[in-house]
Chain A
Amino acid sequence: MEELDKLKKSWNKDIHPKVSAESIYKMILKKSSSAVKWIFIISMIELAIGLSSGILLFTNTENELNLPSWLEGTVTIAGILIPIIYSYKFYKNYKTINTTSSVKELLNNIIKTRKTVKQFVLINLSLIAIMVIFTLYHTLTIPMGVNNEIAYPLNTVKDYFILILVILMITTIVIGICIFVYFLLYGILMRKLNKNHKELQQLDL
């Protein structure tokens, strides 16, 4: 291509004003503002929230939520094990992110790291959904308080229907807010990475 070859000839002549050694010294003291740094920070926050919610579940399930024993056991174990497993997986993946890799390898590693955290968030959201459903059900149907009253006595099919509807609505709102925040945070951050990753993937198909 003629035009490109012309540019090639002049390519190295195009000398920019030099950045001094002093400025380079100053630059290396600065903090990176890279996308990976932000992905790392947000992932750590997600893992920290997951870990602390696991601990909270572990200490609170028995006394306050009155869940069925099988669910209580599962939630407790899941609440502790899942964040630990995923923190380890995340750390291991994060370690493989290296700027000296090829473009494709680097993109693959970043996306793999993100997938780990994404899975973790989805599992956490599912656990939250289960907890919200059961907590609401128990709060509304189990006799509580001084007078041992049932907040929502279930006498007719309509009562059941309304209860399910209310529970579903509240669960959807809680999960919806979580998903909205999640996509807001990552949508912008991952857009460029996903686009470039897709382009390289398609090329190798």
Chain B
Amino acid sequence: MDKELEHSFVTQLEKHQNIIHKVCRLYTNNQDAHNDLFQEVTIQLWRAFPKFRGEAKFSTWMYRIALNTAITLYRKSKRRIKTNDIADFHFKIKSEEYDDTEEEQLKLMYSAIKQLSDIEKALIFLYLEEKNYREISETMGISEVNARVKMNRAKGKLKKILNP
């Protein structure tokens, strides 16, 4: 039974892992921290998995735990598994997909997002993931109105960082 559970978890996580990578990208500044947070989110997801009833989509369920881990639980740790699979992460956007100006703009955008608070980062993340305000308010535990207010403030802050 445990093996089945483990297999089902690993298969689904492998499929949806990009969600965790995207959270890690916003909340960490280097490869080691990215790998650390990826591992911590995976552990937290695995712990909560027996209670996952499939009412929500696996990916939706992942958002909440990944963000909770990044905002609340994550502490930098040196105890990280060493594997070639995650040792080669690059923070550069694949150059063949973008021209230089676009790449530069995106880099600036990422660095601006990183200057936001943990909560604002979470809102921007959910916005980028095209979540509606109802989903955002449920994930964050605040009212829809406050989610809107906070989102506008976060966007305003980003604008100021990008155009000082």
Contacts and interface: CB of A to CB of B under 8 A. Distances in A.
B13 interface: yes
Contacts of A6: 102, 105-106, 109
Interface string A97-131: 01111111111001000000000000000000000
A8 B113 CA distance: 13
A196 B150 CA distance: 13
B47 A103 contact: no
Interface of B: 6, 9-11, 13-14, 17-18, 21-22, 25, 36, 38-40, 42-44, 46-48, 51, 61, 64-65, 67-69, 71-75, 77, 79, 81, 83, 85-86, 88-90, 93-94, 97-98, 102, 105-106, 108-110, 117-119, 122, 124, 127-130, 138-143, 146, 149-150, 155, 158-159, 162
Top 8 nearest A-B pairs (CB, nearest first) are A104-B141, A102-B141, A34-B73, A33-B77, A16-B21, A28-B46, A27-B42, A23-B85
Interface stretch (A61-69, A84-92, A197-205): A197-205
A19 B21 CA distance: 10
Given A21-B10, A23-B83, A103-B139, A16 B118 contact: no
A31 B127 CA distance: 32
A34 B67 contact: no
Contacts of A21: 10-11, 14
Interface of A: 1, 3-4, 6-8, 10-28, 30-36, 38, 98-107, 110, 189, 192-193, 195-196, 199-200, 203-204
B141 A200 contact: yes
Contacts, number: 189
22 contacts: A1-B155, A1-B159, A3-B109, A4-B127, A4-B155, A6-B106, A10-B102, A18-B85, A19-B14, A19-B85, A21-B14, A28-B46, A30-B39, A34-B40, A36-B73, A99-B44, A102-B64, A104-B140, A107-B71, A192-B72, A200-B142, A204-B146
